[in-house]
Amino acid sequence: MSENQTKFGVLIKAGLAEVHQRELPEIGDNQVLVKHEACNICTTDYGQWMGLREHQPYPMAGGHEFAGIVVKKGPKVVGDFEAGDRVAVAYSFCGECDPCRHALTSECTQVTNEPTEDGYYGAFGFSEYSIRDGRVLIKMNKELSASEASFLEPLATVVKGLDKLRIKPLETIIVIGAGTMGLVNAQAAKAYGSRVIVTEVMPEKIEVAESMGLEVINAGDCNPVEKVKELTDGKGADAVIIAVGANIANKQAFEMVKKYDARILYFAAGYPAPELKVDSNFIHYRKMELVGTYGADMKDFFTAANLLNKKMVDVSKLVQCTFPLSEIQEAYKAASTPGSYRVSVIL
């Protein structure tokens, strides 16, 4: 396959992924040609494959958690990128609209979900090659595997959430759920100096969390709310990060936090949508903060790159298995299996 052509994975409909081929445009002055090495299958990706996110269009050439190698760059690319550098990719942004000018690049009004000229939607992460604006590329440590470097985007979304949660060193933070993003949240919060306690019911996930040196409550063997109170001398947690979209997680979070000035971060979405049943007076009198988070801005991507490149967050145990692009259908099946960690497509 030449550099001006690429094979890529695409969802034709729910449950059906294929490999297609297309021509790449000429590289622009401010652009970089990237040879993709790996792209991890995100919850959004396999959620659409399972038919749970039918609000997204087809054909979907998705995949946004990817890393690759610089092949060549345009003459006006700013930055010290050289051929052979490993890079991962942040979200596209215009840099000129009001949100971008206020550093809220994830809210850029000029980035739209329009199809390409050949009719595809998505970020083309499951692609052998792509052309990217130089300003959305971040250099990654080559000691990381390509699949590990592909965690830049999910870790950036965690950094965004922790920033909104305003966690401090020595605070006690509860993370509900030891799935991929629960453990990324837990490691990042620990890197920030907090005491982190993870709650989980699945034995396999508890084992992985403990192997990372995390403090874990087996919620299948005890009442996790009572255990949190026991481990905090009856005070409760300073904050809870809900990393699984479930009714019971929403309920437990309110019961785990301290009496006054507690914060709850709603990190995970769930399909069907979880319910939140709470008396607003409860929030009022206890001076609680309920915080939503989604996506990441460029500053979050740079912080995430530092955490990964310096190995302050170790995602090596979160890459469950790999598949070649030719087996992308099987990769989606593996990724959608309950209890799975990240499945990586090698390109």
CA separation for the pair 50, 13 (Å, rounded): 9
The residues near 140 (Cβ < 8 Å, ≥ 6 apart) are 67, 86, 87, 88, 149, 152, 305, 308, 309
Q: Which of 190, 187, 186, 189 is nearest to 198 (CA)?
A: 186
End-to-end CA distance of the chain, in Å?
12
CA separation for the pair 100, 303 (Å, rounded): 18
pLDDT score recorded for residue 112? 84
CA separation for the pair 60, 9 (Å, rounded): 9
Q: What percent of the chain has pLDDT over 70?
A: 99
> Confidence band (pLDDT; 50, 70, 90) for 2?
low
> Confidence band (pLDDT; 50, 70, 90) for 260?
very high
Q: What tokens appear for 207 in the block?
A: 């084992």
> Confidence band (pLDDT; 50, 70, 90) for 55?
confident
pLDDT score recorded for residue 235? 98
The residues near 122 (Cβ < 8 Å, ≥ 6 apart) are 10, 60, 61, 62, 63
Residue 88 has pLDDT above 90, yes or no: yes
What's the mean pLDDT in 5-31? 96
**CB 231, CB 207: distance < 8 Å:** no
CATH number of 5-151+315-346: 3.90.180.10
The distance from CA 21 to its chain's CA centroid, rounded to whole angstroms, is: 27
> Confidence band (pLDDT; 50, 70, 90) for 149?
very high
Its pTM stands at 0.95
pLDDT score recorded for residue 4? 83
pLDDT score recorded for residue 3? 63
CA separation for the pair 130, 124 (Å, rounded): 7
Q: How would CATH label the architecture of 157-292? A: 3-Layer(aba) Sandwich (3.40)
**CB 312, CB 148: distance < 8 Å:** no
pLDDT score recorded for residue 254? 97
What's the mean pLDDT in 177-182? 97
Secondary structure element (H or E) that encloses residue 299, with its range: helix 298-309
Q: What residues does each domain of the chain span?
A: 5-151+315-346, 157-292
